């Protein structure tokens, strides 16, 4: 059995197809452009090919980070 011990680097992983909201997206399976969009994936309405949604941001815990100055520095 093979265990990959190298760290994952997205830059070296190759081209990844993703659905981009707000743009014209063509299905890699059939070439059509009608999509059923969910929260995490978009599915082609003609052939059922599912693509992850790439919205350009992060999600989950730690999305919002606020830093408040101490009251002594507020003045």
Q: What is the pLDDT of residues 16-42, one digit of tens each?
A: 889 999 999 999 999 999 999 999 999
Q: Tally the domains of the chain.
A: 1
Is residue 3, in this structure, part of any structural domain at all?
no
CA dihedral 41, 45, 49, 50 (to 10 degrees): 0
Is residue 17, in this structure, part of any structural domain at all?
yes
Higher-scoring residue by pLDDT: 1, 41? 41
Q: What's the pTM value of the predicted model, to 2 decimals?
A: 0.58
Is residue 2, in this structure, part of any structural domain at all?
no
Which whole number is the average pLDDT over 2-29?
A: 81
């Amino acid at each position: 059995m093979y265990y990959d011990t190298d760290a994952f680097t997205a830059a070296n992983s190759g081209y990844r197809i993703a659905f981009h909201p707000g743009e014209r997206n063509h299905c890699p399976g059939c070439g059509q452009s009608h999509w059923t969009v969910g929260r995490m994936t978009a599915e082609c309405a003609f052939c059922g090919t599912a693509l992850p949604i790439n919205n350009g941001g992060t999600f989950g815990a730690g999305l919002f980070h606020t830093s408040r100055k101490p009251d002594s520095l507020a003045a």
